[in-house]
Structure 1
Amino acid sequence: MVRSSFVEVLGLRIYVREAGAGKPVLLLHGLGVSGRYFVPLASVLAARRQVIVPDLPGWGRSERPSRPLGLGGAADVLGELLRRRGRGAVSIVANSFGCQVALMLAQRRPELVGPLTLVGPTVDPRYRSWSVHAARLALDTLREPPALWRILFADYARMGSRRLAATAQAALEDRPEDRVASIRQPILVVRGERDAICTSQWAAECASRAQRGSFRPVAKAAHAAHFSHPLVVASLVESFLEEGPDRLGELEG
């Protein structure tokens, strides 16, 4: 059963969903969409773990700061949320833009971050233009389950076009291809085989650039594989977290 509450972090009210008990894992949403689309995965993982699903400030039900936080601000809020919980390094499962936030946090505050699962990480360094990403987003949306459309459109409207555009620009200007190589935590890259936003080339490259990286595809899934195929993604996450650091580091396609 998913529980929800508001907590204050760095002067901002953050909406947080929680479920389960045990070792914690945090699920981090992407651009525009709130943590709602992580509930299917959270419900599966909660059978064995404590699952934490925040809405970053400006997203979903969380407070809207006067200005968009950008990657750095989002990482700072997330880091403070984890620090206050005092549970040590926490594993993170992130999607899309959330992968960029998670990588920045791991670089800035490595003591707070455990193994990272990056589902459809952005941004492919070969495609840093508004027009390309708009077209890819439109195509990917058509490949997602209709149930996700309702969440996407409602959350995009709540975030607002100006805040959405400013955050998207920050994402396009970021260079995760450089940052991922500096991360010491084990990294699992997961990509839906029908993902129109994260290319197969970039997903494999992201894993290969990591010091301890691995790559797993999800058949028939698009960008939000955790939503459309929660049982498959949960199995990949559990296997990854149970492998242990000494067995990580292979790049598998």
Structure 2
Amino acid sequence: MYREIDGLRLHYNVFGKGAPILFIHGWGGSRCSMHSLAKHAARRFQCFTIDLPGFGKSENPPKHWGVKEYAQCILQFMKQQKIVPHYFGHSFGGELGIYIAAHHPASIRSLILCNSSFKRSRKISRTASLASQLNVNSYALIKKIYPFAKKIYYSLFHRGSDLLKYPALESNFRTIIFEDLTETTKIIKKPTLILWGENDTITPVLWAWELHRNIPRSKIVVVPKATHNLPITQPAIVWKELASFIS
């Protein structure tokens, strides 16, 4: 199914009946990334999964979109669907949830952050500064010159160098990687579940504990031995914690 949001065709699916839950995927993913988890949740809830603009079957957004623009798109989708959902965000989807919960708290019932991005470490900031000066074709050259370049790109661009996989979103990604929502997390008042993989090397588990300190009404669950793609690799565990939190 499609919705038109500010001139963009946004693709989405709906599963089940009950109170609404909105599942938002990470950068480089799609609504399909959330389907296994959503099908667990659809036994008790009405579940919405969407393709963020530029991913899956949704149209590409304009250049230089950042967190605010992606979040506004989600807010418009919720308004059109006439839902006030529990919001589940994985990775970049969690970052959008942080923005929404802080600046539009009445639009959601609760916030679930799973291996969420929200800050820029010094290491990532330095690498991002280098990356922002490169174009897509630069990667082939730098890979030959620096043996560690591929590793840097893999860690920075989450799922195997997403910038290279989505060249149409290059300017958007370069905008987003410099945004830091650390201070924004401190004004969140919504009930929040922080769900993390212990062995996440993309968004380290230390970030989960920082979120827990910053968000007063938060609960934290760290899943042993799990990695960044927790909702994809272990949807049953994520659903168990999600259901317990919502109930």
Q: TM-score band (shorter)?
A: 0.7 to 0.9
Indicate yes or no: 2:161 matched with 1:161.
no
Matching residue's letter, 2:121: R
Superposition RMSD in Å: 2.7
Deviation at 1:17, TM superposition (A): 1.4
Q: Deviations over 1:215-246 (max 9, x none)?
A: 1011222101001000000011111111xxxx
Whole-Å separation in 1 of the counterparts to 2:189 and 2:163: 37
1:54 maps to which of 50, 53, 64: 50
Q: Deviations over 1:166-219 (max 9, x none)?
A: 333333222221111111101111111121111121111111100211110112
Shift of the 222–136 alpha-carbon distance from structure 1 to 2, 3 Å rule, reads farther
Trace 1:40-79 onto structure 2 (pairs within 5 A): 40-79=36-75
Indicate conservation of the 8 Å contact 1:196/1:222, yes or no: yes
Deviation at 1:141, TM superposition (A): 10
Indicate conservation of the 8 Å contact 2:63/2:171, yes or no: no
SS class of match (1:7) = strand
The higher radius of gyration belongs to 2
SS class of match (1:175) = coil
Deviation at 1:31, TM superposition (A): 1.1
Q: Which runs of 4+ in 1 moved over 4 A?
A: 139-142, 155-159
Whole-Å separation in 2 of the counterparts to 1:16 and 1:185: 25
Identity in percent: 24
Whole-Å separation in 2 of the counterparts to 1:73 and 1:51: 23
Indicate conservation of the 8 Å contact 1:191/1:217, yes or no: yes
Indicate conservation of the 8 Å contact 2:120/2:179, yes or no: no
Say which is worse superposed, 214-223 or 46-55, in terms of deviation.
214-223
Unaligned runs of 5+ in 1: 143-151, 243-253
SS class of match (2:109) = strand
Indicate yes or no: 2:213 matched with 1:218.
no
Quote the residue 2:146 is aligned against.
none
Indicate conservation of the 8 Å contact 1:31/1:167, yes or no: no
Quote the residue 2:201 is aligned against.
196
Quote the residue 1:104 is aligned against.
99
Say which is worse superposed, 8-17 or 120-129, in terms of deviation.
120-129
Q: Deviations over 1:125-178 (max 9, x none)?
A: 434326389747736999xxxxxxxxx67x959962251x33333332222211
Indicate conservation of the 8 Å contact 1:123/1:172, yes or no: no
Q: Report the TM-score when normalising by structure 1.
A: 0.80
Quote the residue 1:246 is aligned against.
none
Q: Report the TM-score when normalising by structure 2.
A: 0.82
Quote the residue 2:11 is aligned against.
15
